[in-house]
Structure 1
């Protein structure tokens, strides 16, 4: 168990891909990355995820599941998925609400997210069915998987680790630290919890409790806290949401860049084998 506090210089920059795939269509980003919506079934209900991959890469690549904020599977999450694909991963944004449903108000978002978190077995089954849908697709190496999540999605990623799901890494960005897994298990991978020191929606005591839980099951967990960073620090639309709804949110470009690089460094370690080159 490790806790780190990172100082941030303004020289840090986030490498990004500028074109977002169109919702509901097959899109292309630059010369290589293709995107498409992908429907999968969970107990007879339809869920609409978002798949991005570089089709010019040869061989199998690690699969990264991306779990959305409490707002649902938004353009922001699609963009993160595309960024991962541009780096050579097969990335899939999971739909936790069903039918691609999104929220437009915090009350609605809270209701949607609470329903998911109150049924962890159902949430886990959703992740399992997403993996089952993807594991045999061309280019996917299902033996090398990671899960990342933002806010609500960070909580999903952390609980997936607490439940011992078969990921090599679970990375949370300003995620909810609440435990919904009844009986935590050892996680045979790396857990990275990335939060802002000025996050008013996540308490230090909750983070400490979560770290203690991971330690109790001998899981390698690291907490990284960024100074002057508030909740939703990775999302450029956070300031607009804060103004519209009076929420304690703010984008922080330096923390965004640093936390993304931390994730990539962890992926480089846990996936071991290099990513395949383009054709």
Structure 2
């Protein structure tokens, strides 16, 4: 019997060696299992999404934000800033903040206009958004204050902060990256790409994901190519996704109604909406090592 056990032991050792089970492989497997365990812990955490109104001041203006997180989840987690469309801080921005909270993040839907200002007409939206970009010092102060508020939430891991933005908000987060703000990454959904202050080499610290509608009439081919060149010259870590058939505001289910009302070329695209959200998830997994 002892002899048989001895042979079985030798056979097992041979199999382990032949399969390449060495220290490095074991450590890699353990790290992978730890990562998977952390992800599973988030998925298995009780879903108790809390949404809280937050008020903060910057640029001599009061800002009305909305922070969302899963109260059923323990420990700290990465924080995501959500920057609204040119319509202002509305239910759509809050909806996205809640979706991020369901994924295991702390999300702050920011107020870039101040006082919770919202536009009901494109002319007003254009005025509000233009005023922000014409006052870049003020825009920086508003964004950085929102980041400070997000970092101050007890559930937020202050060392892991990113930002996403839609349309106007997409332009805002890309400018935040250009300014070299301490962000792990930014994601622009059908956002503006042009800038009067292009980034120089070494300016951009954040990884960048651009989710672009290939048929967006508001963003020209020249703008796309110019943006890609700017990012290449700056040495940015850029991922650029273009979704075929997608027009402006392709992530917003209300885009068709608004487009028809104001005769604007806006259209929701369910396939592009889902694909871009999945691309964002992969992007976040990469920058946060989830």
Q: Does 1:175 align with 2:188?
A: no
**Alpha-carbon distance in 1 for matches of 2:240, 2:222:** 13
Corresponding residue for residue 282 of structure 2: 265
Q: 1:86 aligns with which of 88, 93, 102?
A: 102
**Taking CA–CA contacts closer than 8 Å with sequence separation of 6 or more, which of the two structures ends up with the larger relative contact order?**
1
**Alpha-carbon distance in 2 for matches of 1:249, 1:70:** 13
Corresponding residue for residue 35 of structure 2: none
Q: What is the CA deviation profile of residues 167-226 of structure 1, one whole-angstrom value per residue up to 9, with x for unaligned ones? A: 111110000112143654532231111111111011111111111111111111121111
Q: 2:225 aligns with which of 190, 201, 208?
A: 208
User: Does structure 2 retain, via aligned residues, the 8 Å contact 1:120–1:181?
Assistant: no
Q: How big is the shift at 1:44?
A: 3.1
Corresponding residue for residue 97 of structure 1: 113
Corresponding residue for residue 172 of structure 2: 156
**Alpha-carbon distance in 1 for matches of 2:198, 2:228:** 16
Secondary structure of 1:247 counterpart: coil
CA RMSD of aligned residues (A): 1.3
Q: TM-score, normalised by structure 1?
A: 0.85
Which residues in structure 2 correspond to 1:1-279 (within 5 Å)?
31-181=47-197, 184=200, 185-272=202-289, 274=290
**Alpha-carbon distance in 1 for matches of 2:138, 2:261:** 32
Q: What is the CA deviation profile of residues 49-108 of structure 1, one whole-angstrom value per residue up to 9, with x for unaligned ones? A: 110001121111101000000000111111001000011100001100001110000000
Unaligned stretches of 5+ residues in structure 2: 1-45
**Alpha-carbon distance in 2 for matches of 1:265, 1:143:** 19
Unaligned stretches of 5+ residues in structure 1: 1-29, 275-279
**Alpha-carbon distance in 2 for matches of 1:182, 1:269:** 26
**Alpha-carbon distance in 1 for matches of 2:149, 2:172:** 19
Q: How many residues align?
A: 244
**Alpha-carbon distance in 1 for matches of 2:93, 2:59:** 25
Q: What is the CA deviation profile of residues 91-144 of structure 1, one whole-angstrom value per residue up to 9, with x for unaligned ones? A: 001100001110000000000000001112211111111122232221111110
**Alpha-carbon distance in 1 for matches of 2:47, 2:276:** 27
Q: What is the CA deviation profile of residues 141-177 of structure 1, one whole-angstrom value per residue up to 9, with x for unaligned ones? A: 1110111000000000111111111111111000011
Higher strand share: 1
User: Which segment is superposed worse, 145-154 or 42-51?
Assistant: 42-51
Larger-Rg structure: 2
